[in-house]
Amino acid sequence: MTPYPARLLACATTAALLLAACQSPADHLAKADQAAYAIVSAKRADLARDAERFSIEPRADSLRLRLLGGTGVAEELSLVECLAIADETNRQWQDRRESLYLQALDLALERWRFGWIPEGGGAAELDGDGDGADTATGSLGLELSKVLGSGALLLADLGLSLTRDLSTGDAWTTTGDFGFSLTQPLLRGFGSAITLEPLTQAERDVVYAARDYERFRRTLAVQVADRYYRILQQADEFDNERTNYENLMKLRERNEGLAQAGRLSDIQVNQALQDELRAESRVLQAEQRLAGLLDDFKVFLGLPVHCALSIDRAELARLAERGIDDLPITEETAVRFALAERLDLANLRGAIEDAERAVRIAVDDLRMGIDVIASGGGTSEDDQPLKFQDGGIDWALTLDIDFALDRRPQRNAFRAALIALQAAGRAREQLEDQITADLRDLLRTLVQLRAELEIQTNSVGLAERRVESTRLNFDAGRAETRDLLEAQEALVTAQNAATRARIDYELARLALFRDLEALRVEEGRYDVDDEFAARLERIDPAPAPEPAQVPQP
């Protein structure tokens, strides 16, 4: 009969292996989430204040699901609420979250590859012939491997075998065996810089992905604001056109009454009627454009197109009440700040460092290979699986040399790495130039839009006074119908232009802070970073600048 210690060892080993192998899919998923979320949180800590608030799981109570379930949106949505909806249901946002998660999962895998990696297995076999079974065998094995920082690969294995001769009825025979090997590169592949490169690159890739994610959030916030404000603009235009149409109807009815009394010619009646019909057409067109913008906005947010969605018209009034602030930054400071803070530019600078490391690895791959391999192993006595005799342990020391006589693939890879390094440098230079050009254009646009807004605001006031004056003169018989129609048309044009200028200015202002990497997006809201002034002071410690002037070409 098999000795008790041997049976105990076999049972314990089998139980441990079975326990490790019997994890449910949910257990594996939970561990994957734990590893990936921890990495994402750590990498985003310096980029976002809501780094802990990250999940790829769709919310069970998202607005889309509520709408599909028959629960509508009762209130008018503010811009911040629309941004929160985009956080929940925008498909691009979800794609970016999943991309960052998968990048973190890749890093978790690379970290695992440089730790102790266990593997285990077992087998059972029954041999015999036509007369019956002769021999029963079973085996269990456990292997550990680890890549060391020097480039060495360490392997160790431990096995347990059980054999029984069924033809004689003998008891089970238990034996143990072990083995190990250590492979250490001495030339090609030696050192942590070469060995740990996959882990280094994986760590940096997650940083790049986190920066891309934060950059995307800020860009998407501006896109939400753009679509939201364009709907407000179109709604305001619709209101203006409808008011104009109603005023023209009243004017036409008045003219018809005067014409019937013989106090006005049919020409002026027809003039009012023609403008009324034209205004009615514009109302229908404005209403159609507004409905189209709302549908596009629902698709953009990830909401069902058939749902009822209304936005808060008071947002436009609040935007007007805020007024126009002086630009907080000059062109020179803006460029310096953006070149120091832009996340996409930081990624390209990191890509240059990656390319430099790739060149060093390609150079290492051109060298000859010299590896030292130390190995050994042994088998225990029968029924004593943990007892190994000195004479039963074998070992070997091997020197493996690769003279690298033909390194044509490695030579080509080296040249490709050098080209990639040069391309990375050009990409960084191009983005730096593009950032500079974009900021100059944005600052010019902001100055122009600020002047345009002041002009259009004054134009609205002038147009309102003109309408009032013309109406009084028309009532007194000192003005023609055409004069009143032209004044009314000028008022509608000025009102629409003023709204457009105000929204254009606000969107350009948001785009400036986005391109300065000074826009914070967190927990369904966005605003200019409250640390912007301090960050600006670190870049440009000079006194506060005067309002920005139009950059000279």
pLDDT in tens, 26-41: 998 999 999 999 999 9
Q: Contact at 8 Å (CB) between 214 and 48? A: yes
What is the average pLDDT across 367-391? Answer: 83
> Does residue 364 register a pLDDT over 90?
yes
35: amino acid identity, one letter = A
Q: Which residues does residue 433 pair with via DSSP β-bridges, in sequence order? A: none
Q: How confident is the model over 181-194, as pLDDT tens digits?
A: 999 999 999 999 99
Q: What is the DSSP string of 111-174?
A: HHHTS-EEEEEEEEEEEEETTEEEEEEEEEEEEEEEE-TTS-EEEEEEEEEEEEETTTTPPPEE
The first and second tokens of residue 435, run together, are 């950032």
What are the b/e assignments for 72-98, b being 16+ CB within 10 Å? ebeeebebbbbbbbbbbbbeebeebbe
Is the pLDDT confidence value at 208 over 60? yes
Question: What single letter denotes the amino acid at residue 358?
Answer: A
Rounded Cα gap, residues 429 and 410, in angstroms: 29
pLDDT tens sequence across 526-537? 777 777 777 777
According to the model, what pLDDT value does residue 130 have?
Answer: 66
Question: In the chain, pLDDT over 70 holds for what percent of residues?
Answer: 90
> Cα separation of 255 and 273, whole Å?
9
* Model pLDDT, residue 9: 53
Which single residue is written with the structure tokens 């059980």? 162
Q: What is the pLDDT of residues 69-96, one digit of tens each?
A: 666 665 788 998 899 889 888 999 999 9
Paired tokens of 529: 């970073």
| Structure confidence at residue 547 (pLDDT) | 44
pLDDT at 178 over 50: yes
Which residues are CB-neighbours of 395 under 8 A, at least 6 positions away?
374, 375, 376, 377
The string of pLDDT tens digits covering residues 264-282 is 778 888 888 888 899 999 9
Q: Which of 159, 125, 129, 144 is nearest to 13 (CA)?
A: 159
The residues facing 173 across adjacent strands are 163
**How far, CA to CA in Å, does 373 sit from each of 376, 396, 399?**
10, 8, 6
Radius of gyration of the chain (CA): 38
Report domain extents, the chain. Answer: 4-57+89-199+368-404, 324-367+405-553
Confidence check: pLDDT of 153 > 90: yes
Q: pLDDT confidence of 171, banded at 50, 70, 90?
A: confident
Cα–Cα distance, 362 to 410 (Å, whole number): 7
Question: What's the pTM value of the predicted model, to 2 decimals?
Answer: 0.86
CB count, 10 Å around CB of 327?
20
Exposure class string for 465-493: b at 16+ Cβ within 10 A, else e: ebbeebbeebeeeebbbebbbebbbbbbb
Q: pLDDT tier at 215 (50, 70, 90 boundaries)? A: very high
pLDDT band at 424 (very low <50, low <70, confident <90, very high): very high
Average pLDDT of the residues in 213-224:
94
> What does the alpha-carbon distance between residue 9 and residue 7 come to, in Å, rounded to a whole number?
5
pLDDT at 73: 63
Q: Give the up-direction half-sphere exposure of residue 549: CA atoms within 13 A in the CB hemisphere.
A: 5
Digit-coded pLDDT (tens) for 490-526:
999 999 999 999 999 999 999 999 999 998 887 656 7
Is pLDDT of 416 > 80?
yes
Cα torsion at 340, 341, 344, 349 (round to 10°)?
30
At which residue do the structure tokens 């593009």 appear?
Answer: 434
| CATH code of the region 324-367+405-553 | 1.20.1600.10
Tokens, residue 421: 């390094």
d(CA 456, CA 250): 27
Using CA atoms in the order 428, 432, 438, 439, what is the torsion angle rounded to 10 degrees?
150
Q: Distance from first CA to last CA of the chain, Å, rounded?
A: 96
pLDDT (tens digit per residue) in 335-360? 999 999 999 999 999 999 999 999 99
Average pLDDT over residues 198-209: 97
pLDDT at 434 over 80: yes
Integer Cα distance of 46 and 230 in angstroms:
34
Q: How far apart are CA 109 and CA 145, in angstroms?
A: 15
Average pLDDT, the chain: 87
